[in-house]
Structure 1
Amino acid sequence: MALVVLFAIGQQVRLGLNTDVSWLMIVADRLLGGATLYRDIFEVNPPASVWLYLPQVALANALGIRAEAVVAGSVFVTAGLSMGLAAGIAKPDRRDAARLMPVVAAVLLVMPGAAFAQREQFAVIFLLPWLALCLARAERRPVRAWLAVAAGVGAGVAVAIKPPFAAAAGLPLLWTAWTMRAWRPLVAPESLAAALVVIAYGASVWLWQPLYLIEALPLLRDGYLAVRSPILALVADPYVVTTLVIAAAAMMRARKQGDTSAVIVLLLAAAGFGIALLVQGKGFLNHQLPIAMLAVIACAWPLLRARGTGPILLLAAAGWLAFLATQVTGYPALTALVRQVGPGEPRLMVAATNLSIGHPLTRQVSGRWVGTRGSLWATGTASELIDQATDPARKARLQQIIDEDRALFVADIQRGKPDLVIADAPGLRWIARYPEVAAALADYCFAGRAEGMTLLSREAARSPRGASAPPGRACSARTAGSGSAGR
């Protein structure tokens, strides 16, 4: 266990927190500063995605330390609590516990790789005691009431994080009821606790975040959520294929040993996360991650009791999945350029559809994000869909999304006055295409290029106003070197 935790800490320090987590920390920080979610700062996910990181960011601000350390630390703390609850519910014998718990710890803390502290990792952590409870109920083993309620609360939180995760909690529960030939598990204290958490969350969104329902959801429905990968592409991904092989091996080995209950519970939860993967339709690593995590635990359950090559093959497959999760593309040269050119804590925006360009870069340079959205994702998704649309009303709605995104970008430039604007090649063409965007960036000059990205720096004192062409002149030496000189 100690080696697993030390390795996980070292890996997390090396990889850092990824795009989504960094962006959500920025959103949380803006909310703590008084911004209104879905109006002053916009996130594509429901409020729970932001609320999940709000306490950690608030604690980090109170202590005067970086939020990354607190967010990462919260994963280790919640994982430890979850494993303790699950072990208390399952009551494994000493040998099983000694063999399985380090494997569970490795799955929870090492397998996520670059997706560390993602919502899906938290969801698996919160759901683990619930799965142990479903198994205990199916085997008619007594469980203390407070443990059952705690497991139910964890399941409710997992569902609140992303509503499609209800399938991951629901399928094992239905199997338990079917095994017991009774409806009692559906109205047990843990089920009521989970339902109350979900209902309370829904009421909170209705009362305190109506903008999500009124303004955000229609935009997401018509644009972002409509962009989907084909089902075949989602299923045929190497990460998913490896996971399916592990799941099949788990079931075959469990059937051979004549003890399939635990494996069935874990694989049903994995299947529930698979349903969530198809519902979301994106195929991102973090969407695939919980399926693989539960499949590996399911396979470890029977294999750790076996001899031969089985455990070695499982270790190899799990290691392959963990390796794939560490393969991320960052922008180190661009980050270095921002540090060199910008001031100490630069105000930043991005003229690009890719969220990963500006994040985690903004937090890595101790910058301040002044845009309402994390990127031009609304323009990107609507532009992709408008070419496929045949209905005039549909085309008009998508064009409206594109126009509103452009107007919002211009307003953010004028209001936030970012020190630096990062643009990729399509972003530069987008700037040149629209005179109002070019005019808003008239005070910006070319400050450098790295990794295919162009850096524009604000130089208000030296630039003519009202220009209709995109910024192309080189910044003065004084402006270009202001960042390094200031430090």
Structure 2
Amino acid sequence: MSLLALLATLGLVLFTTLSTPLKDDVAWLLYMAGRWLDGQRLYVDLIEVNPPLIIWISAVPEWLTEWSGLSGKQVALPFFAALVLASAWGAANLLRPVAKLFENRLAVFSLAGTVLIGLAGPELGQREHLLMAAMLPYLCIFARSLDRVPTRAWASIAAGVLAGLGCALKPRYGLVLGLLECVALASGLRPWRTMTISAGATVAAYVAAVLAIYPAYLERAVPLGIALYGATDAPFSWMLWDNVPVMLGEAAVLLLYWLTRRQARESSLVLTLGVFAIGSTLVCFLDGKNWFYHRLPATVAIVLALLVWAGSVLTRPAAEWRRLAVPLLLVASACTVFGVAAAQRLKPQVELACAPGLSTEARVERLIRREGAKTYVAFSEWIALGFPVVNNTGVVWASRFDSMWALKGELWRTRFDPATSKEWPVRRWVARDFVAGCPDLVVVDTREGLNYIAILRGSDPAFANAWSQYKQIAAFDGLRVFKHGGERHCTGRPKLLQAQIDTRPTASGEP
């Protein structure tokens, strides 16, 4: 039955994600990986604020795409699902000796896989999703250590390497591992265990590799992100409200652990997952973004902890069920809340999968093909207007940025730092990219409250002159579509625009 649940969940998620536009963040990373495989230089020719590991991972399905002849989406989504399920299988094997509850390896694998795939839904393959999968074996061995269950050295080393790679995907998760080590010290465990040494060595090796291979990451990408990415921060009150279910879930996990901490060996896993969830939520607040996938690791850990606790109770005599009836109802209610929320996130994707041609991205793609456009750009903070549109049509993207987030960041920072426009002249960079690329088709998003065209016209006369050659040809979903209407086409149109962002700008602010 549990295996059928996993297969049904996997089938539904893959059907919806394969039948609808690829998640914009994933599409952009695949595009970046493809350009990197073609010889472009990360953080020099290609602008990205994420550490390089996620690009390296994305390069695997991108390479398989070229080798297999399938689309990027058809390769990447099953590839990411396979990575997640491999983690679930590893966790099932690691938990088997811990308690009788975990003896049925297939059932444990199916349950963990269902939670990992089902809660992610349309966020399949996001960085936080892969991070949670990488951390899961580490959490299982950590719980074994609390129970003094020995683990083979090779398994500890492998789990440590995976956890180190998880921290490499999102460095702030080093704080989460640090929080777990506080629990370990309180439990009498020594800090120099094989697994922690392996994780630390992996992180150290990764940092050394980045410094040696990609010095531009620290010189260019990190300063850019620190300076401008704050424009996408959500108000603290919004984050607090949207994280209420997660924080209540964490409180419930700790309460349940306390109720049965001396009665079940599974309690150590419940505690481990609960502490990991709390640490993940702290990282979410430090990030300052109110995107669901930032809450995904905590959500997965909470649901797994609740299910482990409930399973532990249900394997005991009926008298225990009655004694813990109220907590069991609490667990059932919490799992229902998280399950319904996951279904609500997936529902629009299911509806869109039944009519994929109605999506905004699909309509833009049809326009690009109809007009025979070779170059294209979108003035929007929404990445999806660029990616997966570019991935699916093969059109050349006429900007060094994946969206207009950096432009919004410059405008935001200028309010309290007048030197921003000199240090980070994003308006000038975007305008010059436009003039150099002279895109055949342009989409302008009017839903965001920013008049991109007016801002760029006022920033660069060359842009104003180039824009005068465009005329509107369509409007839908809050978007206006423009086509280059002049007889004279721009010369020297590059196949791939080079970024060349220098953190030491000239006095004129030129890139």
TM-score (norm 2): 0.81
Question: Aligned partners of 1:72, 1:333: CA distance in 2, in Å?
Answer: 21
Cα distance, 1:160 vs structure 2: 0.2
Cα distance, 1:414 vs structure 2: 3.7
Cα distance, 1:100 vs structure 2: 4.2
Q: Which amino acid aligns with 1:25?
A: L
Q: Which amino acid aligns with 1:350?
A: A
Aligned length: 453
Cα separation, partners in 2 of 1:298 and 1:315, compared to 1, 3 Å: same
Cα distance, 1:123 vs structure 2: 0.5
Question: Aligned partners of 2:395, 2:258: CA distance in 1, in Å?
Answer: 55
Contact residue 337 and residue 448 of structure 1 kept, 8 A:
no
1:29-60: per-residue Cα shift (whole Å, max 9, x none)?
11112212222221122222322212221221
Q: Corresponding residue for 1:395?
A: 418
Cα distance, 1:334 vs structure 2: 5.4
Question: Aligned partners of 1:115, 1:221: CA distance in 2, in Å?
Answer: 25
Cα distance, 1:417 vs structure 2: 3.9
Question: Aligned partners of 2:236, 2:230: CA distance in 1, in Å?
Answer: 15
**Regions of 4+ moved over 6 Å:** 327-331, 462-465
Q: Corresponding residue for 1:73?
A: 78
Question: Aligned partners of 2:490, 2:167: CA distance in 1, in Å?
Answer: 53
CA-based RMSD of the aligned residues comes to 2.6
**SS of residue in 1 equivalent to 2:482:** strand
Q: Corresponding residue for 2:13?
A: 11
**SS of residue in 2 equivalent to 1:349:** strand
Question: Aligned partners of 2:339, 2:90: CA distance in 1, in Å?
Answer: 26
Q: Which amino acid aligns with 1:339?
A: R
Cα distance, 1:153 vs structure 2: 0.7
Q: Which amino acid aligns with 2:172?
A: P
Cα distance, 1:206 vs structure 2: 0.8
1:375-418: per-residue Cα shift (whole Å, max 9, x none)?
1211101212322x1xxxx311x22256x322322332344343
Question: Aligned partners of 2:337, 2:284: CA distance in 1, in Å?
Answer: 21
Give unpaired runs (5+ residues) of structure 1: 466-487
Larger RCO (alpha carbons 8 Å, 6+ apart): 2
Contact residue 13 and residue 117 of structure 2 kept, 8 A:
no
Q: Corresponding residue for 1:158?
A: 166
Cα distance, 1:256 vs structure 2: 2.8
Q: Corresponding residue for 2:453?
A: 428
Contact residue 153 and residue 194 of structure 1 kept, 8 A:
yes
Identify the match of residue 418 of structure 1 among 436, 439, 463.
Answer: 439
Residue range with higher mean Cα deviation, 122-131 or 429-438: 429-438
2:399 is the counterpart of 1:376: no
Q: Which amino acid aligns with 1:318?
A: F
2:287 is the counterpart of 1:266: no
2:340 is the counterpart of 1:315: no
Residue range with higher mean Cα deviation, 436-445 or 129-138: 436-445
Question: Aligned partners of 1:242, 1:97: CA distance in 2, in Å?
Answer: 31
Q: Corresponding residue for 1:106?
A: 114
Alignment of 1:197-212 (within 5 A): 197-212=202-217
Contact residue 14 and residue 78 of structure 2 kept, 8 A:
no
Cα separation, partners in 2 of 1:423 and 1:150, compared to 1, 3 Å: same
Give unpaired runs (5+ residues) of structure 2: 315-320, 353-357, 492-511
2:289 is the counterpart of 1:282: yes
Q: Share of identical aligned residues, percent? A: 23
Q: Which amino acid aligns with 1:315?
A: C
2:471 is the counterpart of 1:445: yes
Identify the match of residue 116 of structure 1 among 124, 134, 144.
Answer: 124
Cα distance, 1:360 vs structure 2: 2.7
Cα separation, partners in 2 of 1:100 and 1:190, compared to 1, 3 Å: same
2:34 is the counterpart of 1:29: yes
TM-score (norm 1): 0.85
Residue range with higher mean Cα deviation, 74-83 or 336-345: 336-345
Cα separation, partners in 2 of 1:4 and 1:463, compared to 1, 3 Å: same
Identify the match of residue 138 of structure 2 among 106, 130, 147.
Answer: 130
**SS of residue in 1 equivalent to 2:75:** helix
Q: Which amino acid aligns with 2:487?
A: A
Cα separation, partners in 2 of 1:78 and 1:70, compared to 1, 3 Å: same
1:97-144: per-residue Cα shift (whole Å, max 9, x none)?
545433311221110122110000000000000001111111111111
Identify the match of residue 53 of structure 1 among 55, 58, 76.
Answer: 58
Q: Which amino acid aligns with 2:426?
A: D
Cα distance, 1:284 vs structure 2: 1.3
Residue range with higher mean Cα deviation, 421-430 or 323-332: 323-332
Question: Aligned partners of 2:196, 2:234: CA distance in 1, in Å?
Answer: 34
2:154 is the counterpart of 1:146: yes
Q: Corresponding residue for 2:181?
A: 173
Contact residue 81 and residue 124 of structure 2 kept, 8 A:
no
Identify the match of residue 248 of structure 2 among 238, 245, 248.
Answer: 245
Residue range with higher mean Cα deviation, 274-283 or 349-358: 349-358
Residue range with higher mean Cα deviation, 251-260 or 21-30: 251-260
Question: Aligned partners of 1:375, 1:464: CA distance in 2, in Å?
Answer: 22
Cα separation, partners in 2 of 1:357 and 1:340, compared to 1, 3 Å: closer
Q: Which amino acid aligns with 1:340?
A: L
Question: Aligned partners of 2:55, 2:230: CA distance in 1, in Å?
Answer: 18
Question: Aligned partners of 2:186, 2:345: CA distance in 1, in Å?
Answer: 36
Cα distance, 1:455 vs structure 2: 1.2
Q: Corresponding residue for 2:359?
A: 332
